[in-house]
A = this chain, B = another copy of it.
Amino acid sequence: MADNNNQRRTFDIQFDVAARATGKMRTEAVVRLTQTGEEWEMVSDEGGFHGGDGAAPLPLAYFAMGTTSCLMTQFRAFAKRLNLTITDVEMASSFRWEAHQIGSAPYEGVPIGIDIDVSVQSKESESDLVNLLVKAQKGCFVEQIILKGFPIGHRLQINRGNWIVM
């Protein structure tokens, strides 16, 4: 019989978001993990400078939190899988963009830099801990999307008519 420890397997992860515009610049959404049926209600808003009420975190705050906590989770989960003992994991991350605008026309967003500093307490070897961070990056679903670039499919429906594929 094959050794189960070397068995290749693939599993799927899918998150669906059902979002609607409310208030001035508020987005109210239900985010669902399809594999388990777990759902979370999440709300974003914009600050006054972008026409909102500042009553909930900004969309980019959700993105920054998602990216950072994704790496954090895999760093801890994979330490267990690799039998490495770590404590006091802290991450300091920075996400920077420039917006390019002409007059009051819609502006374009240009990513400038993303950096994540990881600090950890451990008696394991440096090479083991470096390898752990490399593995965590490969296992971080958000980082893999960001690093590789990825097309996003868009469809537009006007007045409940036919879907326009963009």
Contact = CB atoms under 8 A, between A and B. Distances in A.
Interface of A: 3-21, 25, 27, 29, 31, 33, 36, 38, 40, 42, 44, 46-47, 49-51, 54, 57-70, 72-74, 76-78, 80-82, 88-122, 126, 129-130, 133-160, 163-164, 166
In the complex, the count of this chain's copies comes to: 2
Contacts of A66: 44, 59-66
Contacts of A150: 111, 114, 146-147, 149
5 contacts: A4-B103, A13-B98, A33-B61, A59-B66, A111-B148
A166 B64 CA distance: 20
Given A98-B11, A150-B147, A72 B27 contact: yes
Contact of A152 (B21, B120, B146): B146
Contacts of A57: 31, 40, 42
A63 B36 CA distance: 18
Contact of A81 (B16, B61, B104, B143): B104
Contact of A13 (B89, B99, B145, B156): B99
A102 B5 CA distance: 7
B31 A102 contact: no
**Most chain B CB atoms below 10 A, which of A9, A59, A121:** A59
A151 B26 CA distance: 31
